Structure 1
Amino acid sequence: MTEQTAPPADVTAPAPATLPPVPQDPPPPPAQEEDPGPAAPRPPRRVLRAVLRWTAAVLVMGGLGAGTVAGITSMKRTDVPGLATRDDGRWDYPALTLPALPAGAPRPFSDSNTAEVHHADLRRLLLPAPAGATVDKELDGGWVDTARFTAEYGKGDRAVLDQHLKDSALRHTAARGWTMPDGTSSRIYLLQFNSVAYSTAFYDELYGDDSLPRPLAGTTEPVFDEDWTSTAGAEFTTAHVYSVPEPHGAEQVRYAYVLAGDTVALVVHSRKGKAGTETVPFHQTLILQNQLLG
């Protein structure tokens, strides 16, 4: 059998009816505004982002820097890497204090004390031994006789100095000595006279007729210590500093005289061996003893 198919339907939609246009009011004229001038060109977004990043970085680094500075200033110098003070050889002396004066007694260099007399106990004006020192039993900070003092000089000078001390108005002599672990021997003598006139006369006698002092026992003629500065001493005192020049032989000696009013001080450092004595602890000892007398 033959299947019959229906004819295709017409799928074309009828065209919509066309409506007439609706009349509209004309647009209002633009408002009159002041001319703002040419607009500034806007930076590219890439530049803005870079500026913001660097600003934030600067603020962060500034905060870190301020914190670091605050941390360093609150730390001890020895706690900061690279700023720690290296050991320069100074000895560990105890804190120094001047002894009390008798009631109504003036200081040695006050205007009312024309003789420049130290009214404090002379033994209390001796520099104490530093930490680690072995104290000399003969020079323990007490009184000594003139023979012990003149024994620091050669045999040819002892009799002259001893006689001068007997003829002068020497009141008494105090001394202290010690030995450090490195072998350095230290001795300090304080000779007190009735007035600055007598101490000055003996000070001159220590030099004899020469510009250099009498050599100490076992030493050659000394030379001036060029590393010493005159401003290192206390006010109103005079210090002359010497050392035995190279080659110093089996022992090197450094010594100094201090004239402080009615008192003459002798400070000695000696050490056997080629290394000799160290400059820093000798100057430190001399400065501190000088300050106690000034």
Structure 2
Amino acid sequence: MTEQQTATVADVPAPAPEPVIETASAPAAPPRRSRRVLWAVARWTAAVVVCGGVGAGTAMGITALDREDVPGLATESDGRWEYPRLTLPALPADRPRPFGDANEAEVHHADPRRLLLPAPLGATVDPKVNGGFVSTDAYLSLYGKEYRAEMEQALADSALRHIAARAWTTPDGTRTSVHLLRFASVAYAQQYEDETLRGGYGTVGVKTLPDGVASFVMDSSTDAVKVRDTDIEAFWEREPYGPEQTRWAYVQAGDTLALITQTRKGGALAVPFRQTVTLQNQLLG
């Protein structure tokens, strides 16, 4: 936000004492050449005063503008999207936050639909994935067909409670989806991530890949995101890929596991991906 700027007016100096006019006889009139010199000096003095006033007015006008309004000083976008103001949802009476000292089970008491990241300004929300609950099949459709049967059984064994989701497309063609999987406990959420998605506790990488992805690279750019008691693992599709590239990340936060995916023709951009992952992580923490 731009702070409102105010201008102060300097103290006006006291007028100088008027000169004493002697009553002696008036001096002789100056010669013609002297009058021409005095007239030229007066004209230049007036011009300087006018230019100085215009310059001061221009400077005052510039300082009153936002940086983006001054030609040549506009701040270029760094690629981040503009999201609505984010707020945490209100909790039921006497229910703690997921990672507070009074919540050793690390359970989210807020409705998972209220914890979904909203779409950025200017994006088109998918009417079928608009912030409500979705089916297990809708979630599994994000993965390759060869993984879905095993994943479906794992979800049935993991006491899955809900899947809330939202998806949108930005004007540059990037499609984003956010799925929040709420389990009955932290243990079930961690077990599903470790054994089904990663292929075993301590395994580096992933066992199941998004639909159409053949190989991947771990994305370490999200390592700097620090939210208490949460964990992020991010990946991007390795070249060569098809018409679109996919980036995806998992956020493990207590009893909830988030999947964030972004796909874009020609290549998924790193900056909005990290921004989206970071904001969703903060909402869950």
Rounded Cα–Cα distance in structure 1 between residues aligned with 2:230 and 2:72? 39
Q: 1:223 to 1:74 in 2, by over 3 A?
A: same
Rounded Cα–Cα distance in structure 2 between residues aligned with 1:82 and 1:182? 25
1:198-233 Cα deviation digits (max 9, x unpaired):
11111112111452112111111211124x141224
What is the match of residue 18 of structure 1? none
What is the match of residue 26 of structure 1? none
For residue 84 of structure 1, report the CA deviation from its aligned partner. Answer: 3.2
| Alignment partner of 1:157 is 2:166 | no
What is the match of residue 54 of structure 1? none
Check the 8 A contact 1:143/1:174 in 2, yes or no.
Answer: yes
What is the match of residue 98 of structure 1? 88
Q: Which has the larger radius of gyration?
A: 1
Rounded Cα–Cα distance in structure 2 between residues aligned with 1:249 and 1:108? 40
Rounded Cα–Cα distance in structure 2 between residues aligned with 1:97 and 1:215? 32
For residue 234 of structure 1, report the CA deviation from its aligned partner. Answer: 2.0
1:236-265 Cα deviation digits (max 9, x unpaired):
211101000122221100000000111000
Rounded Cα–Cα distance in structure 1 between residues aligned with 2:114 and 2:161? 16
What is the match of residue 187 of structure 1? 177
Q: TM-score if structure 2 supplies the norm length? A: 0.74
What is the match of residue 288 of structure 1? 279
Over the residues paired in the alignment, what is the CA RMSD in angstroms?
2.2
1:86-132 Cα deviation digits (max 9, x unpaired):
11121121111110000000000011111100101100000011112
Aligned with 1:174 (options 164, 176, 188):
164
Aligned with 1:254 (options 242, 247, 263):
247
Alignment of 1:75-224 (within 5 A): 76-79=66-69, 83-204=73-194, 205-209=196-200, 210-213=203-206, 214-224=208-218
For residue 194 of structure 1, report the CA deviation from its aligned partner. Answer: 1.6
- Listed as ranges, the gaps of 5+ residues in structure 2 are 1-54
| Alignment partner of 1:244 is 2:234 | no
Misfit runs of 4+, over 6 Å: 70-74
Task: Give the share of equivalent positions with the same residue, in percent.
Answer: 54
Q: 1:293 to 1:72 in 2, by over 3 A?
A: farther
Letter in structure 2 aligned against 1:293: L
Classify the secondary structure of the residue corresponding to 2:149. Answer: helix
Letter in structure 1 aligned against 2:99: F
Rounded Cα–Cα distance in structure 1 between residues aligned with 2:89 and 2:63? 37
Letter in structure 2 aligned against 1:187: S
1:28-65 Cα deviation digits (max 9, x unpaired):
xxxxxxxxxxxxxxxxxxxxxxxxxxxxxxxxxxxx9x
| Alignment partner of 1:263 is 2:256 | yes
Q: 1:200 to 1:74 in 2, by over 3 A?
A: farther
